[in-house]
């Protein structure tokens, strides 16, 4: 009875296989900057080996992703195959505080309404037009 060790893979390579990052070098840079946690512990070495059952926490864009590794994968395949490598534990994004205005059911604002919105935001200091 031989106890085969659990399969492992480099964390930067797994992040790339699971399609969280477009290139492996971007994943390597994220880990090197110390912005990734494995089971709650910050790491800074891209060669850190990870395997099924481990939980990764890292920023992606404006969101923080929390994922549990289910499989290590053999290649960087299509998105459907990549989604089978992990379970997403990330909290749902908070609701937007300022939903898109409906403009009294008229659809998109016209030129006059756009000028009013821009002037109003500039006067009140509301910031971006997001």
pLDDT of 42-79, one tens digit each?
Answer: 999 999 999 999 999 999 988 899 999 999 999 999 99
Q: Judging by DSSP bridges, how do beta strands 41-43 and 63-69 pair with one another?
A: unpaired
The pLDDT of residue 95 is 76
Extents of the domains making up the chain? 9-88
Q: Which residue, among 7, 39, 33, has the nearest Cα to 21 in the 3D structure?
A: 33
Q: Regarding the domain with residue range 9-88, which homologous superfamily does it belong to in the CATH classification?
A: RNA-binding S4 domain (3.10.290.10)
Please check whether residue 64 is in contact with residue 54, taking contact to mean a CB–CB distance below 8 angstroms.
no
Q: For 17-38, how does the pLDDT look when each residue is reduced to its tens digit (9 = 90+)?
A: 999 999 999 999 999 999 999 9
Residue 2 φ then ψ, to 5°: -100, 135
pLDDT at 96 over 90: no
């Amino acid at each position: 009875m031989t106890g085969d060790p659990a399969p492992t893979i480099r964390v930067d390579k797994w992040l790339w296989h699971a399609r969280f990052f477009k290139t492996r070098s971007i994943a390597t840079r994220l880990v090197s900057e110390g912005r990734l946690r494995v089971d709650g512990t910050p790491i800074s070495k891209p060669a850190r080996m990870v395997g099924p059952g481990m939980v990764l926490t890292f920023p992606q864009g404006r969101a923080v992703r929390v994922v549990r590794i289910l499989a290590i994968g053999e290649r960087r395949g299509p998105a459907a195959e990549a989604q089978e490598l992990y379970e997403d534990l990330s909290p749902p994004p908070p609701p937007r505080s300022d939903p898109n205005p409906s403009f009294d059911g008229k659809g998109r604002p016209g030129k006059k309404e756009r000028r009013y919105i821009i002037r109003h935001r500039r006067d009140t200091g509301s910031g971006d037009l997001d």
